[in-house]
Copies of this chain bind each other. A is one copy, B any other.
Amino acid sequence: VNSQSLDRVFAACSHPIRRTILERLAQGELSVGEATHDLAVTKPAITKHVKVLEEAGAIVRVVDGRRHRLALAPAPLQEARTWIAAQERLWQRKFDVVEQYLQEHVHTDPREEPA
Q: Which residues of A contact B (CB under 8 A)?
A: 3, 6-8, 10-11, 13-16, 19, 22-23, 25-28, 72, 74, 77-78, 80-81, 83-88, 90-92, 94
Q: How far is the CA of A74 from the CA of B7 in the complex (A)?
A: 19
Q: How far is the CA of A11 from the CA of B16 in the complex (A)?
A: 12
B residues within 8 A CB of A25?
A: 91
With A10-B14, A14-B7, A19-B6 as contacts: A72 and B87 at CB distance below 8 Å:
yes
Q: Is the CB of A87 within 8 A of B10?
A: no
Expressed in whole angstroms, the minimum distance between the Cβ of A49 and any Cβ of chain B is 13
Q: Is the CB of A80 within 8 A of B26?
A: no
Q: Is the CB of B13 within 8 A of A84?
A: yes
Q: How far is the CA of A10 from the CA of B14 in the complex (A)?
A: 5
With A6-B19, A16-B7, A94-B27 as contacts: A88 and B77 at CB distance below 8 Å:
yes
Q: Give 8 CB contacts A-B under 8 Å.
A: A6-B14, A10-B10, A10-B14, A13-B80, A13-B83, A26-B91, A72-B87, A81-B84
